[in-house]
Amino acid sequence: MAKDEVRDWDKELAEVDKLLAQTPAAPAPAAGRAPSGGPPAPRGSAAPPGPAGRKLSAREWLGTWVRVVLGLLIGIGITQWPYTYGCGMKLGFYLIGVAAVITAGVWSSVSSWRRHLGWAHLISQGLVIWGLALAAREVLPRVHYAQHVATWLCP
């Protein structure tokens, strides 16, 4: 197209309207299924679509990811526990920290599930599994499940 040529937008849009009118209609929803809550989110939108096609606000999106990152920091931090935690009160405090990892994972998992954020939910589920593995590592020897037996209280 040359620099001097001017487009007739009305004519081009009329052609687009004709082509859209020729396309087949969308299939009707299956019997027994309720139609979705609204129109689908436009493509290229900044925030991912939320429940029922609703666009997530930046606050909801950011809030969920803050929960996930907070849980990750707790999950990583628990591996750097500075004290021995073989028995007694120190073991109790360590297990409270492990419970915090699991709680943070569940908290971020629920938030990400409600907002339909797949990656955040996947990371949250990994965090829950990590917390359960840490708990199992300390609890199973103390309930005589593992070959190595440990005690809850210090001698």
Query: What pLDDT does residue 106 have?
Result: 96
The whole-angstrom separation of Cα 97 and Cα 4 is 71
Q: Assess contact for 153 and 87: CB atoms under 8 A.
A: yes
pLDDT tens digits for range 91-106: 999 999 999 999 999 9
9 or 30, greater pLDDT: 9
Mean pLDDT of all residues in 107-127: 94
- In which band, very low, low, confident or very high, does the pLDDT at 31 lie, cut at 50, 70 and 90? low
- What token pair was written down for 71? 């849980």
Q: Which domain holds residue 83?
A: 56-143
pLDDT-based confidence at residue 133 (cuts at 50, 70, 90)? very high
CA atoms within 13 A on the CB side of 152: 7
**Alpha-carbon gap, residue 63 to 82, rounded angstroms:** 30
Has residue 128 been placed in a domain?
yes
> Does residue 22 belong to any structural domain of this protein?
no
In a domain, 109, yes or no: yes
The half-sphere exposure of 85 on its side-chain side, counting CA atoms within 13 A, is 20
Report yes or no on 100 lying in a domain: yes
Number of domains making up the chain: 1
> Which pLDDT score is estimated for 2?
59
For residue 86, pLDDT over 90 is answered with: no
- Determine, yes or no, domain membership for 118: yes
Structure confidence at residue 150 as a pLDDT band (50, 70, 90): confident
| Type of residue found at 103 | T
Residue 134 within a domain: yes
Q: Count CB atoms within 10 A of the CB of residue 141.
A: 15
Q: Reduced to 3 states, what is the DSSP secondary structure of residue 35?
A: coil
Q: Judge whether 10 lies within some domain.
A: no
> Is residue 121, in this structure, part of any structural domain at all?
yes
pLDDT for position 100? 95
